[in-house]
Copies of this chain bind each other. A is one copy, B any other.
């Protein structure tokens, strides 16, 4: 859900159909927002290109035009969920000093934010239960995200190490936000980051 708690949406401009407002960069943003909401509420399997188009107030052809296939909209919706407030490139920075802490903090921040958490939860649920969604996550998302992290590293098996770091954060998300196991579910984010940062730092920098 992207429009806050019932307040007026900053993006509300309407005109679902053939006019100017239904195309251009605004339309692309609206499609992506609708895709996130649709995937979050219905899961991968039950979300359709038509449904996304309808929710965005555009023609289904425009969704195809901007994104191609459903898998590609899904991948774009996952990626946009990972960049809610800041760019991953800023998190990665130019040095590996403090990288573990920056990545742990970034990941927790993304999950603590309900706007990005809802679609991420939906994506994980879809990927756990539908091979098509798992494949999108594997091929479009993980490969790209891990690739971006790995290319900053100067260690052997950089992708394997980036993946181990990612696995830890994924597992924390599962236990904290999905299973809601205590005491992790109620732990202060800073406490989690402080414990996890040295682990990520070791994986990503120590040869």
Residue numbers of A with Cβ under 8 A of B are: 124-125, 127-129, 134, 137-138, 142-143, 146, 157, 159-161, 163-164, 166-172, 174-176, 178-184, 187, 191-192, 195-196, 198-199, 202-203
In the complex, the answer to whether B175 meets A166 with C-beta atoms within 8 Å is yes
Determine whether the beta carbon of B175 is less than 8 Å from that of A167. Answer: yes
- What are 29 A-to-B residue pairs whose CB atoms are below 8 Å? A124-B174, A125-B129, A127-B178, A128-B128, A128-B129, A128-B174, A129-B129, A134-B178, A134-B179, A137-B179, A137-B181, A138-B179, A142-B175, A142-B181, A159-B183, A160-B187, A161-B195, A163-B175, A163-B183, A164-B172, A167-B175, A167-B176, A167-B184, A168-B171, A168-B199, A169-B171, A171-B171, A171-B174, A198-B202
The residue among A128, A172, A176 with the most chain B CB atoms within 10 A of its own CB is: A128
Chain B residue with minimal CB distance to A200?
B199
Q: Given A129-B125, A137-B179, A181-B142, do A167 and B164 touch, yes or no (CB 8 Å)?
A: no
> Are A183 and B160 CB-contacts (below 8 A) given A170-B175, A172-B171, A174-B170?
yes
- With a CB–CB cut-off of 8 A, which chain B residues contact A164? 172, 184, 192, 195-196
Per DSSP, chain A at the interface is helix
Assembly CA distance A180 to B127 (angstroms) = 11
**Distance (whole angstroms) from the CB of A207 to the closest CB of chain B:** 12
Chain B residues positioned under 8 Å from A138 (CB to CB): 179-182
A46 to chain B, nearest CB (A): 13
Give Cα A187 to B124, complex, Å.
22
* Top 5 A-B pairs, shortest CB-CB distance: A171-B171, A167-B171, A170-B171, A128-B128, A163-B184
Q: Which residues of B contact A191 (CB under 8 A)?
A: 160
CB distance from A89 to the nearest CB of B (A): 22
A160-B183, A164-B195, A168-B168 as given contacts; A124 in contact with B128, CB under 8 Å: yes
